[in-house]
Structure 1
Amino acid sequence: MSDQSQGLHRILAGLQLNSFAPPEDCHPLASILLLPGLAAFFAAELSVIRTITYGGSMSQLAQHALELLQAPLPQEDIIFSDLYRDTSLLEDIHCITDRTRPISTELVMNILVKYFHAYVHSGSYRRILSLKDITMVFDQFAHRRRGCKSLLEQRRLRQWLVQHSFALCMLADLPKTASIFAAIAGMHFPDSIDRQQYTGLDIGTGSGILLLAAFVQAKRNNFRKVNLVGIERDPYVQKRTARMCCTLEIGEIILGDAKTTDVYAPLRQKPVTFVANETIPGIRQELWCEDFVMINETMFRTLGPLLEETFFFPEGLLVMDRDRGVYTMLNKMNQYHQAPNLDLAAMSAQALLIDDRVVPLNKVGDEYLNSIPNKSRPLLTQRW
């Protein structure tokens, strides 16, 4: 066996993978690539591998092999540069709460990408960021479980991104999140609604982005006092989102399970103006996969009369019994859970009712896709 092969086998032995026995004439790089899953391991744990020495320093060939396994840096920005505003997140939020200004694609996309950066990097909400820096965070998140050059020797950040994956996955589906954000933020209330107090609830709040949309909604509808509550059951996400929403002065994030009555205690004093429920299963997934039905049953049972004048997102959820070919729309009229003679748990989600339009789940946000370069679309996640 050559000196280079011996060196690589010493590395493998240090990783407790010395049971691997490639042919003696196998090229050292092939030795790595033949190991199932080892490519990802080498890429993700480069900082660990670098501590393993070969003749006092890491084998140059092994170093090159590791570099080949890293995903390259992003070649395109996460949104087109002509859409990007040289403003801070705080400035953009102030701008979108002005009801005299339209809720434009440009403004919504800027808020989403800057919010994403600020969620990962506390304090950046005040700064004017470069689009390149924002794109880098999306790249890091997309490759959090794989090797990439943007995460080299950033093990702590990688762990943090994995820990907050679910909340960030919802946010990083930019087209769908943009469509939902715009629908909520742009909702116009009739003149008959009392503008003295706005009470909003976001269930399964995750990153808090829809709580921000509700905040914008309240401001654009000229409510004098705004009280917003988000419910999140993941303690790590709740802690980060609570700090984020407190910093932006949006609202309060409660750690709890929305299927229990106690979590609604802060909302039992006044009528609820708006509710967003994000616990929607993916397209064609059966409703038992998420807590949507059970949450609505608990919420309506607990808050009852306080929901009589409430506006909801989604306005409706179209579900289907695939075996019988039967459709039904879950909405405020049936409290999103009352469907006699139907086994709701076994029915599958099909579409949302948004602005009085029935939009298939896989088509939500299509109008925002043109904001994102083709080469950057692999960095997006999928909300549903």
Structure 2
Amino acid sequence: MKNIQDAALTLLLRQPIETHILPAHLYRSDSLAQEIEKACVPKNDLSRTDILNILVKYFYAYIYPDSMDSSINLKDISVCFNQFIHRRLGTPLLWDKIDLRRSLLKYGFSLAMLADLPKSAHIFHEIALSKIDPDKFKGFFLGIDIGAGTGILMLAQMVAARKNEFDKIKITGIERDKPTFERTRLIADKLNLGTMLLGDAKKRLTYSFLSNDSVTFISNETLPGVSARLWKEDFIVINKMLFDSYETLLRLTHFFPNQVYARDKSTERVIILNRDNNFYNTNQYPLRLMYPYAIELDNAACPLTEIGWEYAALLQDPWPDILSHRW
């Protein structure tokens, strides 16, 4: 009877995508650690191919932390993405892999953000290639990643800090989900990304690690998708708390996103949120009822739905349509 039950279950499993996630000519055999070291060299370019290689290997390393110094073949990485996207409905690639499936489900939300490779790559590019003057911060890069998830934007900040040749780097990632916090802390320790903090980013006490040093960079992507009002996520509340409590430390801070475009769908009126209004203080139509529309990328407004389109073109079909989406 068990054999019949197993046979019936296998009929319901989703078949894996047969193509590799990246074309073979774009994939390199270097380990994740090697990719990161190359990316951090100030004189080295950071191409779209470089970033995609970092992201797919980081995704794999998040699931298999001991792989960071190893050369992983493209087939294994593609299998890993296949297993993740089919983690709920099942796939032959997860048959009898109960612990792996539990891990994919446990870290599912954060991994889904990272697995949106086109948008993740575009955001990574924007942060990692930020031009920041170390002299304005006395050579001390103090970064905060709010809603750190897998820690991929902590890595982007670290690349930016090293490319801009800061003498001292301290990056803190804030995460409220305990299992994700624990796994990302492990990853951050192995890659020397910084310190993870388990806490609520809306509360002042969470930032007790701040002293009198200017904050160099804050990444805060706690925005809902275009179909949800701003109150669905914590972006406004977090910024109000930060600027009300620490405005003197934020005078020189670089932000991601640097600007957020929110609109009232009934009138199509657009409000721009940036450091000039502390990302919340507009005194106009109730901001929490508005919808996020775009963020500034490459010095221009980029609709949330169009972020990463140039990176999507580098992935093999049908992966761009299959991967999860941030927004």
TM-score (norm 1): 0.83
Distance between the aligned counterparts of 1:242 and 1:355, measured in 2? 31
1:238–1:254 CA contact under 8 A, matched in 2: yes
Secondary structure at 2:271's aligned position in 1? Answer: strand
Structure 1 match to 2:186: 243
Kindly, what percent of the aligned residue pairs are identical? 37
1:193: how far off? 2.7
Structure 2 match to 1:148: 91
Runs of 4+ in structure 1 over 6 Å off: none
Alignment map for 1:22-37 (pairs within 5 Å):
none
Name which of 2, 7, 15 aligns with 1:72: 15
Structure 2 match to 1:370: 313
For structure 1, the residue ranges without an aligned partner over 5 or more in a row are 1-53
| Structure having greater relative contact order (Cα 8 Å, sep ≥ 6) | 2
1:284: how far off? 3.3
Of stretches 303-312 and 188-197 in structure 1, the one that deviates more from structure 2 is: 188-197
Structure 1 match to 2:123: 180
1:204–1:279 CA contact under 8 A, matched in 2: yes
1:58: how far off? 2.1
Secondary structure at 1:337's aligned position in 2? Answer: coil
Distance between the aligned counterparts of 1:378 and 1:292, measured in 2? 27
Say if 1:79 and 1:243 are closer, same or farther in 2 by CA, change over 3 A.
same
Superposed CA offset, 1:251-289 (max 9, x none): 011000011000111123310000000201111321001
Secondary structure at 1:382's aligned position in 2? Answer: coil
Structure 1 match to 2:267: 324
**Counterpart code for 1:298:** M
Aligned length, in residue pairs: 327
**Counterpart code for 1:103:** L
Superposed CA offset, 1:220-245 (max 9, x none): 00000000001000001001101100
Asked if residue 354 in structure 1 is aligned to residue 297 in structure 2, the reply is yes
For structure 2, the residue ranges without an aligned partner over 5 or more in a row are none
1:268–1:303 CA contact under 8 A, matched in 2: no
Asked if residue 268 in structure 1 is aligned to residue 215 in structure 2, the reply is no
Structure 2 match to 1:58: 3
Distance between the aligned counterparts of 1:96 and 1:110, measured in 2? 11
**Counterpart code for 2:229:** E
1:325: how far off? 2.5
Alignment map for 1:122-201 (pairs within 5 Å):
122-190=65-133, 193-201=136-144
Distance between the aligned counterparts of 1:176 and 1:259, measured in 2? 25
1:68: how far off? 2.6
1:318–1:350 CA contact under 8 A, matched in 2: yes
Structure 1 match to 2:167: 224
Q: Larger Cα Rg: Structure 1 or Structure 2?
A: 1
Structure 2 match to 1:37: none
Superposed CA offset, 1:128-165 (max 9, x none): 00111111111111011012011001112111111111
